């Protein structure tokens, strides 16, 4: 019995564990200086490197955004911002510290808040359109056209666009 347990733990240790940013925005610290260097957005997939129960060391992989040098995106076409650094261009696979309680292993849980916000905001006039009804490159125009109807500011618009692109018919997290 115990042997099986050790074997199971060993297998878990071999696989880099994927977790997700679990708050609308989470401050990223540089591991050595512990200075705040930027923010990671909700639902961003991260590789867990270590976790002492208070702070977790994570790696975030992505693509540099062509239009905005401070942003790393999930898709090479620039969809779904993962993180934004204040003063430097992010590494395509950067290591950061975040509070342990700002991570979850459950992808759905990590995206739940923005999903609820989307359905609240966008289903008052018509049934909410599901993210998978369109491709990632189509959503921004549809949602921008609804901005005045929905009375949302640019930041909340970007939050919804990010969710719809992540779960679009060709989205990276669908």
Based on CB atoms, which residue is closest to ligand HEC, 95 or 150? 150
- Asked if 17 touches ligand HEC (CB under 6 A), the answer is no
B/e letters for 110-137, b = 16+ CB within 10 Å, e = fewer, are bbebbbebbeebbeeeeeebebeebebe
Distance CA 138, CA 65 (A): 18
- Asked if 127 touches ligand HEC (CB under 6 A), the answer is no
- Asked if 160 touches ligand HEC (CB under 6 A), the answer is yes
- Asked if 149 touches ligand HEC (CB under 6 A), the answer is yes
Distance CA 52, CA 11 (A): 20
Contact call for residues 76 and 62 (beta carbons, < 8 A):
no
- Asked if 126 touches ligand HEC (CB under 6 A), the answer is yes
- Asked if 121 touches ligand HEC (CB under 6 A), the answer is yes
- Asked if 142 touches ligand HEC (CB under 6 A), the answer is yes
Minimum distance, C-beta of residue 130 to ligand HEC, in the bound complex (Å): 10
Distance CA 91, CA 66 (A): 14
Residue 115, sorted as left (phi over 0), alpha (psi -120 to 50) or beta, turns out to be: alpha
Q: Which stretch binds ligand HEC (CB under 6 A): 8-16, 18-26, 54-62, 124-132?
A: 124-132
Based on CB atoms, which residue is closest to ligand HEC, 60 or 164? 164
Based on CB atoms, which residue is closest to ligand HEC, 74 or 122? 122
């Amino acid at each position: 019995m115990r042997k099986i347990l050790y074997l199971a733990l060993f297998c878990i240790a071999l696989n880099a564990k994927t977790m997700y940013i679990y708050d609308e925005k989470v401050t990223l610290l540089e591991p050595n200086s512990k200075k705040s260097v930027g923010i990671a957005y909700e639902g961003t997939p991260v590789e867990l490197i270590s976790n002492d129960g208070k702070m977790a060391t994570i790696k975030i992989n992505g693509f540099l955004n062509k239009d905005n040098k401070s942003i790393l995106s999930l898709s090479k076409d620039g969809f779904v911002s993962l993180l934004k650094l204040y003063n430097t261009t992010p590494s395509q696979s950067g290591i950061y510290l975040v509070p342990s309680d700002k991570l979850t292993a459950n992808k759905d849980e990590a995206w739940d808040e923005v999903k609820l916000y989307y359905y609240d905001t966008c289903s008052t006039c018509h049934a909410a359109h599901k993210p998978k009804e369109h491709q990632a490159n189509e959503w921004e125009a549809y949602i921008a056209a609804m901005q005045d109807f929905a009375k949302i500011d640019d930041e909340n618009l970007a939050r919804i666009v990010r969710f719809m692109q992540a779960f679009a018919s060709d989205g990276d997290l669908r």
